[in-house]
Structure 1
Amino acid sequence: MLKHKIIGLDVGSRTVGIAISDLMGWTAQGLDTLQINEEENELGIDALIDIIQKEN
């Protein structure tokens, strides 16, 4: 058993998919997909921080 869950990021050019593992580290479930816009400097970092704090 893991002490913490593992977060996975699938970074694309327009979105970032976020998944998190179970405490056994065997499976992962999708949590959210963040929209990003590099031209406008909207990278979804605040939303990612919120998810990490919620799941921690």
Structure 2
Amino acid sequence: MLNKSLHRKIYLHAQYLEHRLASNFIFYTFIIRCLHNDFIANLLNNQAVALFKKQPN
């Protein structure tokens, strides 16, 4: 049987890793969402520019 302090250390380490994983996941989804929004914004911007150029002065 594991002694209590070692068991506690393993438990805390697992908690820490879980927390790191969760925060990294949130961080990466945030970055992906930002990149995705930039991509969509660029597409819309390009379409707006194209429409503007098509219009006669």
TM-score by length of 1: 0.30
Q: Return the structure number with greater helix share.
A: 2
Q: Return the structure number with greater strand share.
A: 1
TM-score by length of 2: 0.29
Q: Give the number of the structure whose alpha-carbon radius of gyration is greater.
A: 2
